[in-house]
Structure 1
Amino acid sequence: MPASSQSKAMLYGLGAVLLWSTVATAFSISLRHFSPVQLLLVANLVSWVFLVGLITLRGEAKLLVKIGKHSLKSSLFFGAINPLLYYLILFQAYNTLPAQEAQAINYTWAIMLSFMAVPILKQRLRPADYLAAGACYFGVLYISTRGQISTLEFSNITGVGFALLSTIIWAMYWLLNTKDTRPSLIGLTLNFTFALPLVFLYAAVTGELDTWDQNGVWGAIYIGLFEMGLSFVLWNQAMKLTTNTSQVANLIFLSPLLSIIWLSQFAGEPILSSTLIGLAFILVGLFVQNWSKKAKKTLE
């Protein structure tokens, strides 16, 4: 594959990462006007329209229907996990914690993935996994206590609980997704298709359809289009074109750092020193984990 393909892969990957870096700000602003359920409902609808439109443009509408008919149970199952359960809990974390803290804790899902892969995929942990987990969860502890580790005075234990629970659900989703035989884009579209009526029903039962603040609509549209839609397409394209997966994957480290900048500039969140220190530990842990995986592949 020519070098230009790797350059294109990096551009696609950078585009996805830049979009991901903005979503914490979009979450924070949107949740000032919408409840987590309302935000999910609008974002899910927008993402579904985008994904179905993309599938149609690619000439795969008939394939979408065909696969959908033969995968009703799996589409409903995966849709109930993502977007329904995952985003409800994630939005609740952002609704409870400062966005900079919620997004930093959410980045530990990769560590959770390694530990959950042991019972689900029968994988074995390496010493580097324990070291990475130690660094990441020390960072979580530092963020959630805002630096008051010695007294263990948590700023908001409920919000931290929601943020950590979101990492468990997201890791479980990707582990179960390894056994999903549907094409990735079609599978994602079917997930959002089957989740949409579930989200609507949940919103109706909980009375979230009664009162709407129009100021939250544009943020929800942004989230549905870019966080749940276009970013996935860009990242998927980057993975297809790349000749060096780890090089593209390392772009992920830019996202939380940029996110804090956007939050301070556009959402009016003061940057907490405890978040920066805790995030540094989390990023070190993720770097150790990625480096260990790369070293293992080199030896193999």
Structure 2
Amino acid sequence: MKNQTHAMLFGLGAVLLWSTVATAFKLSLRELSPVQMLLVACVASVVVIGLVLVVQGRWRQVFSLRRGQYLQSLLMGLINPCLYYFLLFGAFDRLPAQEAQPLNYTWALVLAYLSVPFLGQRLRRADIIAGLICYSGVVVIATRGEVLSLTFSNPSGVAFALASTLVWASYWILATRDERDPVVGLFLNFVCGLPFIVLACGLTDGFAFDPGTAFYSALYVGIFEMGLAFVLWSYAMKRAENTSRISNLIFISPFLSLVFIYLILGEVILGSTYVGLGLIMAGLWVQQRKVRDKVAEAEAV
């Protein structure tokens, strides 16, 4: 049943959770390696999403898919959570949260560019302008304002962050052909990806997890960022009478995230971060404007 008020509340809940995870990433990575953090978070996410399916009465759907869809779950699980979160956590391990977090938001622009060769969509002038604006913001953040020097503060961290946007956009390109229920699909992706994460952790950093802030922060990431936030956002989109208004909520998240980064992590937010993030958000607004207008017109009919 459509209900815009409920949709807004679900959307705001998801945005609030997404706004806290950059801080949780850094708290966890103070003691855990990226692959150890990924293991803890993935286990927590599997448990939480599984409980959601049980409560919703959709657990049987996990066992009623076609054989090809289980193979699809395996392939998509290697992308998300395995590769995507390894790159994302690797970026946060190498960069301050205020730098890694804005760079990750450029995935929406990468999605638009990948949609041209893989989905046959046209590259609009707005996409080109948005790219110039967004990636100028990336340069400002990555060089900490020393744009003319083109000396990145941490080249490998920036590479990890930008690679994660490519992987995440590719994941959503594949998801356009996904006929599974979104929550069921996410659960199976994580279940199929988990054994590979366990293997990688065992071969590298091991399973020495001491209870403490880092461990509980990784649990938080798995429960909320990987699990409940996705469920809340799905509910928001299903209940929305106007999806463009819900989509606009995402622009709140990066700025609210800086508040948590400052208050909890104690990072001094650089002027270059504000400028770069502003450019990235402006570019995404340009890129999404016509899409939102078309959606609004379609929903008004």
Q: Choose the corresponding residue for 2:90, options 83, 89, 92.
A: 92
AA partner of residue 78 (structure 2)? A
List per-residue Cα deviations over 1:223-254 (Å, max 9, x = no partner).
Answer: 00000011011100000010111101000000
Q: Residue 70 and residue 55 in structure 1: after superposition, are their counterparts in 2 closer, same or farther (change >3 A)?
A: farther
Q: After the TM superposition, which residues 104-253 of structure 1 pair with which residues of structure 2 at under 5 Å, given as runs?
A: 104-206=102-204, 208-215=205-212, 216-253=214-251
Aligned to 2:76: 78
Q: Choose the corresponding residue for 1:259, options 257, 260, 272.
A: 257
Aligned to 2:48: 50
Q: Residue 145 and residue 87 in structure 1: after superposition, are their counterparts in 2 closer, same or farther (change >3 A)?
A: same
Q: Provide the C-alpha distance between the structure 1 equivalents of 2:83 and 2:50, rounded to a whole number of angstroms.
A: 21
SS in 2 for 1:33: coil
Q: Provide the C-alpha distance between the structure 1 equivalents of 2:170 and 2:207, rounded to a whole number of angstroms.
A: 33
Contact 2:45/2:227, CA 8 A, preserved across alignment: yes
Contact 1:15/1:234, CA 8 A, preserved across alignment: yes
SS in 2 for 1:123: coil
List per-residue Cα deviations over 1:270-289 (Å, max 9, x = no partner).
Answer: 11111100000001001111
More moved, 197-206 vs 22-31: 197-206
Aligned to 2:37: 39
Which structure 2 residue ranges, 5 or more long, are not aligned? none
Contact 2:244/2:296, CA 8 A, preserved across alignment: no
Deviation at 1:29, TM superposition (A): 0.7
Q: Provide the C-alpha distance between the structure 1 equivalents of 2:286 and 2:10, rounded to a whole number of angstroms.
A: 25
Aligned length: 297
What is the Cα-based RMSD across aligned positions, in Å? 1.5
Deviation at 1:62, TM superposition (A): 2.0
Contact 1:33/1:213, CA 8 A, preserved across alignment: no
SS in 1 for 2:65: helix
Contact 1:68/1:190, CA 8 A, preserved across alignment: no
Q: Provide the C-alpha distance between the structure 2 equivalents of 1:100 and 1:71, rounded to a whole number of angstroms.
A: 38
Deviation at 1:53, TM superposition (A): 1.1
SS in 2 for 1:180: coil
AA partner of residue 127 (structure 1)? R
Q: Provide the C-alpha distance between the structure 1 equivalents of 2:221 and 2:199, rounded to a whole number of angstroms.
A: 21
Q: Provide the C-alpha distance between the structure 2 equivalents of 1:229 and 1:210, rounded to a whole number of angstroms.
A: 22
Deviation at 1:180, TM superposition (A): 1.0
Deviation at 1:294, TM superposition (A): 2.6
AA partner of residue 187 (structure 1)? G
Q: Residue 299 and residue 62 in structure 1: after superposition, are their counterparts in 2 closer, same or farther (change >3 A)?
A: closer
Q: Choose the corresponding residue for 2:61, options 49, 60, 63.
A: 63
TM-score for the superposition, normalised by structure 2: 0.95
SS in 1 for 2:148: coil
AA partner of residue 217 (structure 2)? G
Contact 1:8/1:238, CA 8 A, preserved across alignment: yes
SS in 2 for 1:214: coil
Deviation at 1:295, TM superposition (A): 3.6
Aligned to 1:12: 10
List per-residue Cα deviations over 1:254-273 (Å, max 9, x = no partner).
Answer: 00000011001001111111
AA partner of residue 289 (structure 1)? Q
Q: Provide the C-alpha distance between the structure 2 equivalents of 1:50 and 1:299, rounded to a whole number of angstroms.
A: 37
Identity of aligned residues (%): 49
Q: Residue 249 and residue 210 in structure 1: after superposition, are their counterparts in 2 closer, same or farther (change >3 A)?
A: closer
Q: Provide the C-alpha distance between the structure 2 equivalents of 1:70 and 1:296, rounded to a whole number of angstroms.
A: 34
Q: After the TM superposition, which residues 287-298 of structure 1 pair with which residues of structure 2 at under 5 Å, given as runs?
A: 287-297=285-295
Aligned to 1:270: 268
